Amino acid sequence: MTDEELVSLALDLPDTAEGSHFGTRDFRVRGKIFMTLPGPDFCVVKLTPDQQQMALATMPEHVAAVPGGWGLKGSTRLFHRDADDEEVRTLVRRAWRNVAPKTMALPED
């Protein structure tokens, strides 16, 4: 998936806005970041630690934990250019759900 396709996917999610966090493009739902795009090689999605472990086990060639404390909390690098589009879509939507208010609905994948 290209950067443009990834951005489009993120912005199509309800109440998503693009912003900037320390000079890095980010995507937020109601002010909470669920994805950043630090460069052309990968994005970072906000998963739970359990979701991160599942992603590492099922698609190890396309994901990596962010180094340090953020990674321990579930922040995960997603190498979206080489990953299957459906896998990328699933992880981005999961990250959105993790920060969106529970009253906001998003159809299950």
Retrieve residue 53's tokens: 């472990």
Least reliable range by pLDDT among 14-23, 33-42, 62-71, 100-109: 100-109
Query: Given this model, what pLDDT does residue 104 score?
Result: 84
List strand residue ranges (DSSP E) for the chain, in order.
16-21, 24-29, 32-37, 43-46, 63-65, 75-78
- 9 φ, ψ to 5°? -60, -50
Q: What is the mean pLDDT of residues 36-51?
A: 94
Which residue would you say has higher pLDDT here, 42 or 102? 42
Retrieve residue 42's tokens: 């990968």
Question: What average pLDDT does the structure give for the chain?
Answer: 93
Query: Given this model, what pLDDT does residue 33 score?
Result: 96
Domains of the chain, CATH where assigned: 3-99 (3.90.1150.30)
Residue 107 has pLDDT above 80, yes or no: no
Retrieve residue 101's tokens: 């208010």
Retrieve residue 17's tokens: 């806005």
Count Cα atoms within 13 angstroms, Cβ side, for 48.
Answer: 6
Q: What is the mean pLDDT of residues 31-45?
A: 94
The answer for residues whose C-beta is within 8 angstroms of residue 13's C-beta and 6 or more apart is 29, 92, 93, 96, 106
Query: Given this model, what pLDDT does residue 98 score?
Result: 96
In one-letter notation, the amino acid at residue 44 is V
Query: Given this model, what pLDDT does residue 41 score?
Result: 87
| Residues 1-19 pLDDT 10s | 999 999 999 999 999 999 9
